Amino acid sequence: MSHQNVDIAIVGGGMVGATLALALSQNLQGFKPIKIALIEAKALDFGAHPGFDSRAIALSAGSKDILEALQLWPSLSALAQPIDKILVSDRGHIGRLKLKPEDYQLDSLGYVIELQQAGQQLHAALAQCDNISLYCPNQIQSLEQAKHSNRLTLEDGQQLTCKLLVAADGGASNLAQQFKLDALDHDFGQSAIIANLRSDQLPAGRAFERFTEHGPIALLPMNDNRWSLVWSVQTGQEQQLLECSDHQFMRSLQSEFGLMAGRFEQVGQRAAYPLKLKHYPRAIAHRCVLIGNSAHTLHPIAGQGFNLGLRSVSVLSQLIQQLLSQETDSDCGSYSLLKRYQDLRSQDTQNTIVLTSLLASSFASADKGAVVARNIGMLTLRSSSFLKNHFANQTLGRFDLMTEGKR
């Protein structure tokens, strides 16, 4: 039975876990590289792996800045489709909002990247890092806690001792359950249907967020002149939309979305998943931290999930790098470091959860009062540069991550 001592063990090799491992692998001049174990339960079959399937995600402008700072953007940029315009509308009503990069001194508002391609690039980079050991497919069978370490026994019998354990194993995190952390849960009563589409209009860098009384519809521009669809419907309606013919599906979508993106001509494989909010207000435990979807799963409206997780990656890696640069005998799993991380991430996490949850709830209502209120809200945002900039800065992820309570 082999045994390895590492500084940090990351459970979950999806987008957040892989990015964190690469961020932490960067060496500080004059300091010994930290040893990292990356533990992933599923074989890395890109395209079929649940974290690296055919879905696409939106990277905010702030996320692109983070990836540049982590020296990861060059390998991903060729795969990314820029978002040059975001068009927000409310079906059947006057509310309209347009976001353009020049309004915020940006080249693009964000980028769309396919998870399968991103995963291949990230794991190719991981394979080049001598201080990262990948345990895949593998998972934790047992965990023993001590004052200065956590001892992990893996499914294949290998043992690891680490100073810090990072849970990046998704919304149903086994580690979160094992540490008995309290979660806040909310069922939105919706399911998201995901598919890739083609229409008779080229995306041309346009992204749409279309609100209907049944739920929001998002269309993102993809490479190869395709659209990435996230269509939120009331729970119980998704099965019919999954089982109907392609023609019937596109006709139903066209009826809800309208002709802003042209006429839909082709749809790929469809999938659906329930939409629920899960949030751990306290995302730290003894020498353990939850990150990404393990700490919070959001409604996909406004595409904030991975961007929120990436901001956490940036803060945690910066704190650990700062510690390493200041102390020769540093403890990256110390309570003081984890408490600092929790304090720095609380406000952004709370703001993002409130924003996405309010948008999901208010824009899914057919109540006349709610309809009037949300359209007045969009008109107000459109006419007030201050409010529009405040809204955009949160969704674009453009603020100082290392300063508490600045916003």
CB atoms within 10 A of CB 100: 12
* Residue 376 confidence class, pLDDT cut points 50, 70, 90: very low
Query: What was the pLDDT predicted at 211?
Result: 85
pLDDT in tens, 130-149: 999 999 999 999 999 999 99
Query: What was the pLDDT predicted at 27?
Result: 66
Is 17 in the same domain as 146? Answer: yes
144 Ramachandran zone, left/alpha/beta (phi>0; psi -120 to 50): beta
**Could you please report the per-residue DSSP string of 204-255?**
TTEEEEEEETTEEEEEEEEGGGEEEEEEEEETTSHHHHHHS-HHHHHHHHHH
Query: What was the pLDDT predicted at 243?
Result: 97
Give the CATH number, domain containing residue 270. 3.30.9.10
Is 114 in the same domain as 22? Answer: yes
Q: Tokens 């940090």 appear where?
A: 8
Tell me phi and psi for residue 289, to 5 degrees: -140, 140
Which of 252, 259, 270, 261 has its CA nearest to residue 196? 270
Q: Is residue 147 part of a domain?
A: yes
- Inter-residue contact 396 to 348 (CB < 8 Å): no
Is 209 in the same domain as 70? Answer: no
Q: Is residue 251 part of a domain?
A: yes
371 has pLDDT over 80: no
Q: Is 73 helix (H, G, I), strand (E, B) or coil?
A: helix
Is 153 in the same domain as 290? Answer: yes
Query: What was the pLDDT predicted at 184?
Result: 93
Query: What was the pLDDT predicted at 92?
Result: 64
Q: Is residue 137 part of a domain?
A: yes
Which runs of E-coded beta strand occur in 91-183? Answer: 96-99, 110-114, 132-135, 140-145, 150-154, 159-167
pLDDT in tens, 199-221: 999 999 999 999 887 788 999 99
Is 283 in the same domain as 238? Answer: no
Of the candidates 275, 308, 334, which is a domain's last residue?
275
For 205, the domain range is 189-275
Q: Is residue 405 part of a domain?
A: no
373 has pLDDT over 70: no
Contacts of 67 (CB under 8 A, 6+ apart): 19, 59, 73, 76, 310
Q: Residues 285-324, buried b or exposed e (16+ Cβ, 10 A)?
A: bebbbbbbbbbbbbbbbbbbbbbbbbbbbbbbbbbbbebb
pLDDT in tens, 162-187: 999 999 999 888 898 888 899 999 99
254 has pLDDT over 50: yes
What average pLDDT does the segment 20-32 reach? 80
Q: Cα–Cα distance between 187 and 362 in angstroms, integer?
A: 15
The single-letter code of the amino acid at 56 is: A
* Spacing of C-alpha 378 from chain mean position: 25
Is 59 in the same domain as 109? Answer: yes
Reported as type and span, the H/E element at residue 59 is: strand 56-60
Task: Provide the mean pLDDT of the chain.
Answer: 88
Is 211 in the same domain as 351? Answer: no
325 has pLDDT over 70: yes
Of all residues in the chain, the percent with pLDDT exceeding 90 is 70
Query: What was the pLDDT predicted at 231?
Result: 96
Q: Is residue 404 part of a domain?
A: no
Query: What was the pLDDT predicted at 400?
Result: 86
> Maximum distance among all alpha carbons in the chain?
67
Is 174 in the same domain as 197? Answer: no
Q: Is residue 332 part of a domain?
A: yes
pTM of structure: 0.91
Q: Residues 260-278, buried b or exposed e (16+ Cβ, 10 A)?
A: ebeebeebeebebeebbbb
Is 280 in the same domain as 268? Answer: no
- Inter-residue contact 173 to 288 (CB < 8 Å): no
Q: How many domains does the chain have?
A: 2
Of the candidates 215, 245, 275, which is a domain's last residue?
275
pLDDT in tens, 70-122: 999 999 999 999 999 999 888 765 567 888 999 888 999 999 999 999 999 99
Is 282 in the same domain as 265? Answer: no
Q: Is residue 402 part of a domain?
A: no
Of the candidates 237, 258, 275, which is a domain's last residue?
275
Cα(first)–Cα(last) distance of the chain, in Å?
51
DSSP 8-state assignment for residue 43: -
Q: Cα–Cα distance between 133 and 259 in angstroms, integer?
A: 50
Query: What was the pLDDT predicted at 96?
Result: 76
- Inter-residue contact 9 to 152 (CB < 8 Å): yes
Query: What was the pLDDT predicted at 347?
Result: 93
Query: What was the pLDDT predicted at 367?
Result: 54
Provide long-range contacts, Cβ within 8 A and 24+ apart, for 399-405.
399/62, 399/348, 401/311, 401/314, 401/315, 401/318, 401/344, 401/348, 402/315, 402/318, 402/344, 403/344, 404/343, 404/344, 404/347, 405/347
158 has pLDDT over 90: yes
* Residue 384 confidence class, pLDDT cut points 50, 70, 90: very low
What average pLDDT does the segment 297-319 reach? 93
What average pLDDT does the segment 239-254 reach? 97
Give the CATH number, domain containing residue 100. 3.50.50.60
**Range in 26-35, 71-80, 247-256 the model is least confident about:** 26-35
Q: Is residue 25 part of a domain?
A: yes
Is 214 in the same domain as 152? Answer: no
Is 240 in the same domain as 336? Answer: no
